[in-house]
Structure 1
Amino acid sequence: MSRTFLVKEIAAQAGLSQATVDRVLNERPGVRALTRARVTEAIRELEVQSRQRALSGRKFNIDLVMETPVRFSAAVRTALEAELPTLQPAVFRARFHLWEIIPAEALVQALEGIRARGSHGVILKAPDVPEVSAAVDRLATSGIPVVTIVTDLPHARRHAYVGIDNRAAGETAAFLVGSWLKPNRARVLVTLSSNRFRGEEEREQGFRQALRRFHPDLGIVEVSEGYGMDRETVALARRALTEDRLIAGAYSIGGGNNAVLAAFAEAGRHCTVFVAHDLDAENARLLRERRISAVLHHDLNQDMRTACRHIMQAHGALREVPGAAVSPVQVITPFNLPPGLG
């Protein structure tokens, strides 16, 4: 393996002991394949971030922790890695802890590991459950600020929330869906990855209330706990479409959009309007193919930049955070896709 980085640098990035990293680098026996893979990944992360090495300034080691489908965590990771060099003269190093599905107790254990190892800050997307909030409180007590992204933990001692106004996003979705389905009496399939995420719950509430107020003829059929995974989501959507023949559109809050479209196709039903969230590569392709109608998007690069600045502020390196307000909701259609996306 490459000897570009010091053992202690690789160990800090990988969250392993220096002795373990030394065994991996020298190809000694008795090391698990998963540990070797983590060291390899840590070196790759350091290489991506090495363009900052020439900068002189205060150094911050941060942790990105997310429970989310890989298509979204990949987009967030790309945005964060792109923004780190722009924060000069400060030098940021990021460690990544990404899962599609993780039990709350395992997530808490990961946060406890970060607290024990030390960090300048945590950028967190996690369910709003008491045990996670308590772990965030312990991080704050230890002097490690937590910035929540996309979905908030308002009852925890997090330093800041970064992302869109989720209720306003749901209301925007209701405006689009209601306008496109009007004047039909129909129902809308609303899919959430899980009710444990406050951000998704706020989107659903905004959507439901705006639809009731402005389009009372339209009803809602809600499904959840598919975790944005295709196999689980297609089963939930298939069941809903079988049980309700009036479903004519979809508002996908939690992802799994290919699965929802597959369920409509299996049922021989046309999805008149489909509004989704987040302009990742999959949704960009679906927009180009005109299989979904619109995507509610926010600038992940701006969010990552703002999150890092909040961490700097928490440590006294910034007096205030420029652009700290919630990100504006952007409505992306097949006709205004950003160039080069996906």
Structure 2
Amino acid sequence: MAHRYKIREIAQQSGLSEATVDRVLNNRPGVRENTVAEVNQAIADLDKQRAQLRLNGRRYLVDVVMQTPRRFSDAFRAAVEAELPAFAPAMLRARFHLWETGSAAQTVETLGRIRGSHGVILKAQDEPEVAEAVDRLVGSGVPVVTYTTDIPASSRCGYVGIDNHGAGVTAAYLVQQWLGDAPSDVLITLSRTVFRGEGEREVGFRSALRPSGRTIVEVSESDGIDATNERLVLEALQAHPGIEAVYSVGGGNVATVAAFEKLGRVCRVFVAHDLDADNRRLLREGRLSAVLHNDLRADARLALRQILQERGALPAEAARPVPIQIVTPYNLPT
């Protein structure tokens, strides 16, 4: 059987004889399982060594393009910058294009101005014009990885993030468990409905909470900005006096807490996303019940790796779903 490495190379790496390696590669009988494992490990080690040789001295420039509240972009930027040295001996640099509020046209214009990039990590609206801009970038040889919210109709090379529908279902489970028999309506806050990831969270949440018969009140188009979100939440609370629980999909949680306090209302359950500075403080103060969180450094590492894989600098690895963590005031990581 043909193989990407010579039998002699695999034998040297594994410490086994060439005859033994030949038997393993050709699936001949009489080979012990641990011997097969040793050969497979030797091949994996050779793959890593080859990747290191390909990376040696190479320079890569990655662009991060995100429309998101600053509290999240600051956290993700720190995660990317912390992970860049991990790809040594290659030298990776990152450029950041970050803004809090805007239209799909701004995203398209930003993507169109990118030059000299080896890859793009993108958090953007799932709009046809954005998908077309992604296709143009990919057509010019620049791979694009979508982050936290996908644009599946585009030619992006991969998506990094949690299972958003599953996150919404998880949030509904937590809300229902904490509310118990309390006859509470539930407020769900989104930043914008054009972000596919937020829409998937909402759908999962609504479907899982439907059997409870609770009324779900939606607030959206705040971009996750506190000033806008507080006004919208105040209006919703005044119109719906039965709201005593919140699922925050899109952020602006400081404003949501302030709105409840201004009206002297009790929030029995508050489930949010992302362990940013605001949510850490709100958890410590007992204002949030739980935060659905994923490791941003692991996200950044996976997104950067997908770009290098697409450029042939690293061996392909199967993408794995990003696990979600349920963080409470009692297991808040340092």
- TM surpasses 0.5: yes
> Does residue 309 of structure 2 align to residue 318 of structure 1?
no
Instruction: Report the equivalent of 2:141.
Output: 143
**TM-score, length-scaled by structure 1:** 0.80
Deviation per CA, 1:266-303: give whole Å up to 9, x if none: 11100000000000111001100101110000011001
The amino acid of 1:188's aligned partner reads V
Report sequence identity in percent.
Answer: 57
> Does residue 296 of structure 2 align to residue 300 of structure 1?
yes
Moved more, 91-100 or 178-187: 178-187
SS in 2 for 1:249: strand
Instruction: Report the equivalent of 2:96.
Output: 96
Instruction: Report the equivalent of 2:86.
Output: 86
Answer whether contact 1:309 1:321 (CA < 8 A) is retained.
no
Instruction: Report the equivalent of 2:223.
Output: 227
Answer whether contact 1:137 1:158 (CA < 8 A) is retained.
yes
Pick one of 251, 255, 260 that aligns with 2:256. Answer: 260
Instruction: Report the equivalent of 2:331.
Output: 336
Deviation for aligned residue 1:90: 1.8
The amino acid of 1:149's aligned partner reads Y
Counterparts of 1:34-73 in structure 2 under 5 Å?
Answer: 56-73=56-73
Deviation per CA, 1:174-216: give whole Å up to 9, x if none: 0100000111222110000000100000000000001114xx2
**TM-score, length-scaled by structure 2:** 0.82
Answer whether contact 1:193 1:227 (CA < 8 A) is retained.
yes
Instruction: Report the equivalent of 1:152.
Output: 150
> Does residue 108 of structure 2 align to residue 108 of structure 1?
yes
Instruction: Report the equivalent of 1:14.
Output: none
Deviation for aligned residue 1:56: 4.2
Supply the RMSD in Å over aligned alpha carbons. Answer: 1.1
State the distance in 2 between where 1:334 and 1:57 align.
Answer: 45
> Does residue 194 of structure 2 align to residue 196 of structure 1?
yes
Deviation per CA, 1:85-107: give whole Å up to 9, x if none: 01112211100000001222122
SS in 2 for 1:261: helix
State the distance in 2 between where 1:171 and 1:57 align.
Answer: 46
State the distance in 2 between where 1:327 and 1:218 align.
Answer: 30
Q: Any gaps of 5 or more consecutive residues in structure 2?
A: 1-54
> Does residue 169 of structure 2 align to residue 171 of structure 1?
yes
Q: Any gaps of 5 or more consecutive residues in structure 1?
A: 1-54
Instruction: Report the equivalent of 1:7.
Output: none
Runs of at least 4 residues of structure 1 off by over 4 A?
A: none
State the distance in 1 between where 2:271 and 2:123 align.
Answer: 22
State the distance in 2 between where 1:128 and 1:306 align.
Answer: 21
SS in 2 for 1:110: helix
